[in-house]
Amino acid sequence: TLSLPSPMGSNCKGLDVERSCRHGFYAASPRSDLHALLYNDASGTALLVLISAGGAVVATKGLGEEEVRGLQFEPSARHLVALISGGTGVHGSPSFFVKMRMPDLEVVWSRPIQSRMVGMEMWTPDNSDTIAVSDELYMLHSAGVCHDGAWCARYQGDIVQALNATTGEGVRDVSRDWQASHSCRQMVAYNEMSDSFLMGSAGDYSPKALLFTAFTRGAHAAARTRFEGWGDGAGRQGVAQGAIKAEPLSPGFASVWSFASKLGEPHKLHFARLHSDGAWSAPPRRVFPGSVGAELGANLAPLDGGRWLVAYTEAPGSAVTDAAAMFWDDWGLEEDTRARGSRLAILDASGDVLGAPADISAVGAPFPVEINHLAKRAEGFGWIYIDGPGAATARVAHLRCRHAVI
């Protein structure tokens, strides 16, 4: 149990205009013994907490008074990168990337990132994996509402923007906005071996699908790979929170997401693998065919031999009663589901389950459902669970696996 330097915020009601108060962002690296938590405290401060391998607070740093948006280590682990809103709930406000030196958290630079066409802070999802970083490029994949005067004025869609990691300057050649409309969910990850970013965007209108696109070796790939779904054009569609991770010692990626076949049906966990250009290498499949209830809030991490560790939450029935609520960081789940639903499964390279899923609720650190940040650490895997609005403590989990870890 980690005593938070300042309690979690508790003002979380309203549509995308309040600071996050259900979960924070967690980051770890296999190349560092340190890991980190970023959350909005009760004063509204975006508070960064650096944590030792043993779970002690090493350092803290306030990063302004706006909503937290993301946290990642550079692949080298020499720097920690945070994404902070530039004006919570104020349409058109840029976000800010903050690059900090490890381990003293000295700020190297803080730079705005925004789209000329799409303004964030209006219908910008709170619970998506919106950043991925290399040692040369910081990528933002988010969403917002198109500015007045643009061809897409007042419609919502996704944005892809990037900054040079050394200078903090914008990299215009990487920008590619409006790949999905409306963009209800975003995922992004970086593969160091292929120098590729893979992005996933779940649309409710154009397309009514989960769309994967790639930026690889300095150019956007031609492949636009789709997992077909449905949408009502008003923010409701079939894909819940998911994640993309790089394959180890390989140029490709793997992804998990939850999908409901129609409104009101339970979300089911899906798995796929993709090449560095975004094309399928192992096509999507349900992880648990014939299961009853919902499987939500998944993330994954690589094991040896092409296997994957998948963390998710089981829930009775459809669990989420309002699909539009999945834009935000509190889906209104029963507290018993949060406390008792956490599961771990091991999949082979094709997505077949090896053995039976493990119920890890007994360890006392369940997976955060809306923002599950399972991450590789120097030894094993880690995540952090905060007990919701106003929490004074967080539960830090460190899992060492008997299977070999890449």
208 to 193, 234, 235, 277, 381: CA distances (angstroms): 32, 12, 11, 21, 34
The pLDDT tens digits of the residues spanning 94-137 come to: 999 999 999 999 999 999 999 999 998 888 887 777 899 999 99
* Predicted local confidence at residue 323, as pLDDT: 73
Identify the CA nearest to 67 among candidates 119, 22, 6.
22
Q: What average pLDDT does this structure show over 276-302?
A: 95
Between 121 and 313, the more confident residue is 313
Least confidently predicted of 58-67, 182-191, 278-287, 393-402: 393-402
* 377 class by beta-carbon count within 10 Å (0-12 exposed, 13-18 middle, 19+ buried): buried
Kind plus residue range of the DSSP H or E element containing 272: strand 268-274
- The alpha carbon of residue 23 and the mean position of all alpha carbons in its chain are separated, in whole angstroms, by 12
- Amino acid at position 223, single letter: A
The pTM of this model reads 0.95
Tell me the two tokens of residue 218: 């300095």
Rounded CA separation 119/116 (Å):
8
Quick one: pLDDT at residue 16? Answer: 46
pLDDT band at 403 (very low <50, low <70, confident <90, very high): low
pLDDT at 14 over 80: no
Range from 109-113, 240-244, 398-402 that averages highest in pLDDT? 109-113
At residue 103, the pLDDT reads 96
**pLDDT above 50 for 15:** no
Give the model's confidence band at 324: pLDDT under 50 very low, under 70 low, under 90 confident, else very high: confident
For the chain, give the percent of residues with pLDDT over 70. 96
Please report the pLDDT score of residue 402 as a whole number. 64
- How much is the pLDDT for 13? 55
In this predicted model, which residue has the larger pLDDT, 364 or 105? 105
User: 348: which DSSP letter?
Assistant: -
As a whole-number percent, the residues of the chain with pLDDT over 90 amount to: 69
Q: How far apart are CA 236 and CA 62, in angstroms?
A: 35
Can you tell me the distance from the alpha carbon of 32 to that of 44, in angstroms, rounded to the nearest whole number?
29
Q: How far is CA 173 from CA 69, 107, 138, 246, 260, in A?
A: 24, 26, 13, 23, 36
- The single-letter code of the amino acid at 191 is N
Q: Which amino acid is at 47?
A: L
Q: Are 244 and 255 in contact (CB under 8 A)?
A: yes
Q: What six digits make up the tokens of 196?
A: 């590729």
**pLDDT given at position 371:** 87
| Residue from 180, 183, 192, 193 nearest 225 by CA | 180
pLDDT given for residue 215 in this prediction: 94
d(CA 199, CA 277): 11
The residue behind tokens 């106003």 is: 390
Write the pLDDT tens digit of every residue in 173-223: 888 899 899 998 999 999 999 999 999 999 999 999 999 999 998 889 988
